[in-house]
């Protein structure tokens, strides 16, 4: 027997490195007319690197001490930024003490007790009403500033840089052509770093500083306006939006387990260009079905 078109399309998507979970999903992917993209790990490579380690004046901490506390607190986290902090500590040959009482808040950061000290690591604007000027300075250059708070006192900042994926701009352009609508960027990161990166990727519509529920609300609003939205994301913070969207695709390599489980499809081979390719495959299959 010849394979039904949607099943052939799933097999073809597999050849592009995309795991589509069902024929229903394969069909929905071709119906989307709007796209919302996550930033960290989706438009960017998701292999961020620590570029700056800056203890705050008066913290009494050396660079290595600051990095040790931050990395120990971040070690249990699966966030790409956490990986960067742990890797930076490893590169400097720093031994990491065990952390206790780890908690993480998607889109905000983490807390843990390290050597009897309570350490919080996360978005400066989420941890403090009035973040230090160094944070804005790092963000102006397109970096993500991460604040480290020790026993309730701001102790230092880390600057983290991630590269745009090489196929990001081309992917944004093909998605715009396929859907007839310019993709929007939904990110938990700060507006300055987000604007910097969006410009490089060719995205005009940027919504930054979003918590997971804000990403969800943005997608729901687009759906209420009659759009069939494709969400592409990788993080725990993207899961509610992935679940609510007409179709959701997760980036698999650095993606969180929750995002991979929630999404309708997973990009297994680490290429963003596989997203428009899969939408195009669905369109073709649907033309054969109907």
**Catalytic positions:** 38
- Count of residues engaged in binding ligand ADP, rule: CB under 6 A: 23
Considering only 107, 154, 159, 183, the residue that binds ligand ADP (CB under 6 A) is: 107
Considering only 6, 27, 37, 39, the residue that binds ligand ADP (CB under 6 A) is: 39
Q: Is-contact 37 235, C-beta < 8 A?
A: no
C-alpha to C-alpha distance for 262 and 282, rounded to whole angstroms: 20
Q: Which is nearer to ligand ADP, 174 or 190 (CB)?
A: 190
C-alpha to C-alpha distance for 220 and 40, rounded to whole angstroms: 21
Q: Distances in Å between the alpha carbon of 28 and those of 5, 23, 32, 246, 272?
A: 14, 9, 7, 7, 19
By CB under 6 A, residue 48 contacts ligand ADP: no
Q: How far is CA 54 from the centre of its chain?
A: 24
Phi and psi, residue 247, nearest 5°: -145, 145
Pairing mode, if any, of strands 184-186 and 153-161? unpaired
Minimum separation from the CB atom of position 11 to Mg ion (A): 29
Which residue number places its CB atom closest to Mg ion? 235
Minimum separation from the CB atom of position 102 to ligand ADP (A): 10
Of residues 201 through 240, those in contact with Mg ion by CB under 5 A are: 234-235
In sequence order, what are the residues at sequence separation of 6 or more whose Cβ sits closer than 8 angstroms to the Cβ of residue 152?
A: 118
Q: Which does 81 bind (CB under 5 to 8 A by kind): Mg ion, ligand ADP, none?
A: ligand ADP
Q: Which is nearer to ligand ADP, 10 or 99 (CB)?
A: 99
**Region near ligand ADP per CB under 6 A, out of 79-87, 129-137, 149-157, 276-284:** 79-87
C-alpha to C-alpha distance for 54 and 76, rounded to whole angstroms: 23
Reduced to 3 states (helix: H, G, I; strand: E, B; else coil), residue 67 is: helix
By CB under 6 A, residue 77 contacts ligand ADP: yes
By CB under 6 A, residue 146 contacts ligand ADP: yes
By CB under 6 A, residue 235 contacts ligand ADP: yes
Q: Is-contact 208 195, C-beta < 8 A?
A: yes
DSSP 127-152: H-SS--HHHHHHHHTTPEEEEEEETT
By CB under 6 A, residue 121 contacts ligand ADP: yes
By CB under 5 A, residue 38 contacts Mg ion: yes
Residues lying near ligand ADP in the complex (CB under 6 A) are found at 38-41, 74, 77, 79, 81-82, 107-110, 121-123, 144, 146, 187-189, 235, 237
């Amino acid at each position: 027997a010849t394979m039904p078109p949607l099943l052939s399309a799933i097999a073809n998507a597999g050849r592009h490195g995309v795991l589509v979970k069902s024929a229903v999903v394969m069909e929905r992917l071709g119906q989307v007319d709007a796209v919302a993209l996550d930033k960290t790990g989706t438009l960017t490579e998701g292999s961020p690197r620590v570029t700056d380690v800056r203890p705050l004046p008066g913290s009494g901490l050396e660079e290595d001490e600051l990095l040790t506390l931050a990395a120990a607190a971040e070690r249990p986290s699966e966030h790409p930024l956490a990986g960067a902090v742990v890797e930076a500590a490893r590169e400097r040959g720093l031994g990491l003490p065990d952390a206790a009482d780890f908690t993480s808040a998607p889109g905000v950061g983490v807390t843990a007790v390290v050597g009897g000290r309570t350490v919080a690591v996360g978005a400066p604007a989420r941890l403090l009403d009035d973040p230090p000027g160094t944070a804005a300075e790092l963000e102006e250059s397109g970096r993500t500033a991460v604040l480290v708070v020790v026993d309730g006192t701001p102790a230092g900042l880390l600057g983290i840089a991630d590269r745009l994926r090489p196929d990001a701009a081309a992917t944004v352009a093909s998605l715009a052509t396929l859907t007839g609508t310019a993709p929007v960027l939904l990110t938990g990161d700060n507006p300055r770093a987000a604007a910097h990166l969006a410009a490089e990727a060719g995205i005009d519509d940027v919504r930054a500083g979003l918590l997971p529920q804000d990403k969800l609300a943005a997608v729901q609003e687009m759906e209420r306006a009659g759009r069939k939205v494709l969400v592409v994301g990788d993080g725990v913070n993207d899961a509610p939006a992935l679940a609510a969207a007409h179709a959701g695709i997760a980036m698999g390599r650095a993606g969180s387990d929750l995002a991979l489980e929630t999404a309708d499809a997973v990009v297994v081979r680490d290429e963003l260009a596989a997203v428009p390719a899969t939408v195009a495959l669905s369109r073709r299959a649907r033309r054969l079905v109907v």
